[in-house]
Amino acid sequence: MTKLPAHPASFRDNSGFVFAENGTLYRQVNNNYKSHYELLLQSGLYEKLIEEKVLVAHEEVSTPIADADMHYKTLRPELVPFISYPYEWSFDQLKDAALLTLSINKTAIEHGMILKDATAYNVSFKKGRPIFIDTLSFETYNPELPWIAYRQFCQHFLYPLFLEHYCKIPAIQLLSVHLEGITAAFAAPLMPWKAKWNLGVRLHLLLQQSVSANGKGRTIQFSKQKMLQLLSHLESVVRSLKAGYPEQTTWNNYYEETILGKDYLHAKAAIMKNWLSSFSGKTIVDFGANDGYFSQLAASYCEEVIAADFDASCINRAYLQHHPNIYPIVLDLTNPSPAIGFNNEERSKLSDRVKPQLSFALALVHHLAIAKNIPLASIAGFFHSFEGDLIIEWVPKSDEKVKQLLSNREDIFDLYTQDQFELQFANYYTIEKSALVPGTDRILYSLKRK
């Protein structure tokens, strides 16, 4: 029998792996995981987590079989519409994912099981809330052993949250280069003096740094009560942490103060609603989504909206609305999430994870072209790398926002004109509609992909 290859991101666990056949994702459970899988079902843990909607559901199917030599079961999991990665999350997304992991672990222990790993990649988002996506992360609980995944939990969740809370730095983005998580040796020296007197920091960071520096510590026996106390303390530590974002950034009051005001916003929304009324697709990507105003508008016309913005504060605000159809991610369009990990295949770039029927680029092109010096031709090519059509906003040099961008620099942007804009985008799209936003010089374009 021909073996089906494992998904490039599913090779680290010998208990099983994810694979695809004819565009459908499956999970193979290997023979060596049989006893743990049966306990997951028989203990009532699986049923409990499904009832609480914190674990992806699955059904057992007889085929396909990816590797007959190791095969025990084939599962067809319920799909999560969009997979984002921890380095694309805002503070409260990572915080909620951490709390979900701890809560699931406590529930598992009460059912005679425990999480054998605690990577943030075991969590994704669905209907505005985190959900656990790795069915094979549970193993039989041994009450004499400590939590084997404790260090991994700290590195993937706790230390990035500590750095954001205490140091006010965008530490979550560091997970894109620290794929195994941020170590205690990396995080501890960055902690301010005051933070080192916090009990949570001392126990879960500074003590762990000391243990790591001195090699293996002595074997510690854990009772069930002690284990639950550890998890409860971790919960209290995580809950106490707050985002270190400044109260005001350049963008988190964009619709209130930094543009033409509410009249402009409502006029643009009216045009968008009219154009979206005939949209019949499933997925929209809102590039430069800010706090999700137009993402929410789009969500009334499709099943899912990917709301992307480089400002983590804005994305955090968008996430905290917990809209069931919106998937917020922190994404810098001038440096978007690349394909990374082993063989550059373990984590996919965004354009491989989402296939929209429509994208938005509202009040965005002037920032890319003038603030970031990206040619209009390159901008057009970037948006065309995503499938589907495009609604884009042209903001001319007469606009106050563009004047502000040019106020402290030489205007070298002779090609930043409406004619050049239309010419460059005509290489990839056909103009179907255009509309002047009342009271402004800004123009909305509805572009059809060629």
pLDDT confidence tier of residue 144, bands split at 50, 70 and 90: confident
Task: Give residue 58's pLDDT.
Answer: 98
pLDDT confidence tier of residue 261, bands split at 50, 70 and 90: confident
Structure tokens at 52: 């609480």
Q: What CATH code would you report for 254-449?
A: 3.40.50.150
Phi-psi region of 342 (alpha: psi -120 to 50; beta: other; left: phi over 0): beta
pLDDT confidence tier of residue 158, bands split at 50, 70 and 90: very high
Mean pLDDT of 361-365: 96
Q: Is the model's pLDDT at 431 over the cut of 60?
A: yes
| Residue whose pair of structure tokens reads 């009249």 in the numeric block | 263
Mean pLDDT of 255-272: 79
Mean pLDDT of 158-180: 96
Task: Give residue 209's pLDDT.
Answer: 78
Q: What's the rounded Cα separation, in Å, for the pair 245 and 305?
A: 24
pLDDT in tens, 191-201: 999 999 999 99
Mean pLDDT of 57-68: 96
Task: Give residue 249's pLDDT.
Answer: 54
Q: One-letter amino acid identity for 334?
A: T
Question: Order of strands across the sheet with 304-309?
Answer: 326-330, 304-309, 283-287, 358-361, 389-394, 443-449, 429-436
Q: Tell me whether strands 358-361 and 283-287 are parallel, antiparallel or unpaired.
A: parallel
Task: Give residue 17's pLDDT.
Answer: 95
Q: Is the model's pLDDT at 248 over the cut of 80?
A: no
Q: What's the rounded Cα separation, in Å, for the pair 285 and 360?
A: 6
Mean pLDDT of 127-140: 97
Helix (H, G, I), strand (E, B) or coil at 390: strand
Q: How far is CA 198 from the centre of its chain?
A: 29
Mean pLDDT of 256-277: 84
Mean pLDDT of 75-86: 96
Task: Give residue 215's pLDDT.
Answer: 54
Mean pLDDT of 434-443: 96
Cα 151 to Cα 155, 156, 410: the distances in Å are 6, 9, 51
Lowest mean pLDDT across 112-121, 247-256, 331-340: 247-256
Q: Transcribe 61-96 into DSSP letters.
A: ES---S-TTTEEEEEEEPPPS----GGG--HHHHHH
Q: One-letter amino acid identity for 166?
A: Y
- 2-11, 92-101, 204-213, 401-410: range with highest mean pLDDT: 92-101
Cα 15 to Cα 72, 82, 169, 226: the distances in Å are 10, 24, 37, 28
- 29, β-bridge pairs: 16, 73
Task: Give residue 1's pLDDT.
Answer: 56
| Residue whose pair of structure tokens reads 């985008």 in the numeric block | 425
Rounded to 5°, angle at Cα 144 from 139 and 149: 45
pLDDT in tens, 387-423: 999 999 999 999 999 999 999 899 999 999 999 999 9
Q: What's the rounded Cα separation, in Å, for the pair 43 and 46?
A: 8
pLDDT confidence tier of residue 254, bands split at 50, 70 and 90: low
Cα 417 to Cα 39, 413, 433: the distances in Å are 65, 9, 19
- 132, β-bridge pairs: 55, 123
Q: Tell me whether strands 123-126 and 129-132 are parallel, antiparallel or unpaired.
A: antiparallel
pLDDT in tens, 276-292: 999 999 999 999 999 99
pLDDT confidence tier of residue 263, bands split at 50, 70 and 90: confident
Q: What's the rounded Cα separation, in Å, for the pair 18 and 8?
A: 9
Lowest mean pLDDT across 246-250, 428-432, 443-447: 246-250
Mean pLDDT of 108-122: 97
End-to-end CA separation in angstroms for the chain: 42
Mean pLDDT of the chain: 93
Backbone angles phi, psi at 101, to 5 degrees: -60, -45
| Residue whose pair of structure tokens reads 């942007």 in the numeric block | 413
- 279, β-bridge pairs: none
Q: Greater confidence, 179 or 216?
A: 179
pLDDT in tens, 34-49: 999 999 999 999 999 9
Tell me the domain boundaries of the chain.
91-240, 254-449
pLDDT confidence tier of residue 250, bands split at 50, 70 and 90: low
Q: What's the rounded Cα separation, in Å, for the pair 335 and 318?
A: 21
Structure tokens at 369: 């072209």
pTM: 0.94
DSSP 8-state secondary structure symbol assigned to residue 386: S
pLDDT confidence tier of residue 222, bands split at 50, 70 and 90: confident
Phi-psi region of 57 (alpha: psi -120 to 50; beta: other; left: phi over 0): beta
Q: What's the rounded Cα separation, in Å, for the pair 271 and 346?
A: 41
With a pLDDT cut of 90, the percent of the chain lying above it is 89
Mean pLDDT of 307-322: 96
Q: Greater confidence, 231 or 252?
A: 231
Q: Is the model's pLDDT at 253 over the cut of 60?
A: no
Q: Are 19 and 4 in contact (CB under 8 A)?
A: yes
Task: Give residue 2's pLDDT.
Answer: 62
Q: Is the model's pLDDT at 315 over the cut of 90?
A: yes
